[in-house]
Structure 1
């Protein structure tokens, strides 16, 4: 089987994203492909190494199709006129890794620091997708960041939290996967996490490997840490928008990153 390369990924993405209204710019040094709307002059940068890494992990065209879908949705949403006033019930927090950009098209995004691994951004839901809120939009709507944050936190607490449960070697794992784009955001619902804390008898850990899953675990033994590490890494590699492969200890309302080093070994920051 012929080996996949960055250049092949680039050609495949350009072919699948072919649109008379969009232009492509390839940065050879950074190995990124920028797809830009000719009319709005807004666009999105795709790390081709990231696409390649995911392709190699799952060895499937699905990796490319997911990125293509993400780019199409993002560019389409950029053409939609956005209003925050009157849309209070559609504003949510979204979790991203700390490596995620803090600006878009040179306009600062509205965000808050969260943990050493994660950051909180704010978005307005558009139905099939959402748009991250930037400082320019805040000024245009005469709103303060504090107001947006209060709306977002209220709305995330109002989301349903359907949980699936699985047990491995005496350890219990709980999964929230609503596929509404805000599964990872539920890590900000403290009352939800506290309700787990009351029923967990071992060590409580929480993970947000990508935006469409939240994992809560009741770790009872060393095997539990190994299973947790495998779970989070698997979700991280296969997620459309990866966040972090690390898990967190949850104690007294605080999240502390935990490193699981090799089999049956653990250490924390």
Structure 2
């Protein structure tokens, strides 16, 4: 007897069914979400209304803030409502859309962080050529290229969403996360896992390696600078390095970890 069933909806298990725990989680995530939304909104507004910030570095930062805004808004509002709901179902279509948007924003952020590292590399290692290599026409094309590439790359993982399950539709997560959804299928998941690994390599590991190469070149150039200019060069890269470590560290632990 075939134990596969075509699903129409999924159930998100979330964090807990204990009301007191959910109340604490609700206010914790609400505060984090509001800080994220307000912070990124302020960054975008300040950059747009301040002429002296209309330079490539802040143009990329504005795009990064927009991505973070969309990324957090894709999952957190539903998470907040589910914390007080006993009906945590999501349609297969809505799950696929949420999954795609999360992958799109995550992949675009990875590639955008590469552009920001490239911008710092040109500014520090090739300062005389910076006005030519990072002129506005090139910056616009680079950002457009990043969005188009991420859009195309992340279509494939969405089609890995399993439509046939072994009589179960419970996702052990608070959102439609790719690895969590893939665990539901009773079919041979090797091809799916191979596809996920390939996409993770292109979207996650490869950008990280490019950033690493950029910062090796930056570090070698900065070490040859003396005095206050060295500190200034380091300071322009510090925040970017922190974001790279946190974002890529989390992503690689999730998709390449045990």
TM-score between both structures, scaled by the size of structure 1: 0.29
TM-score between both structures, scaled by the size of structure 2: 0.30
- Structure (1 or 2) with the greater strand fraction: 1
Greater Cα radius of gyration, structure 1 or 2? 2
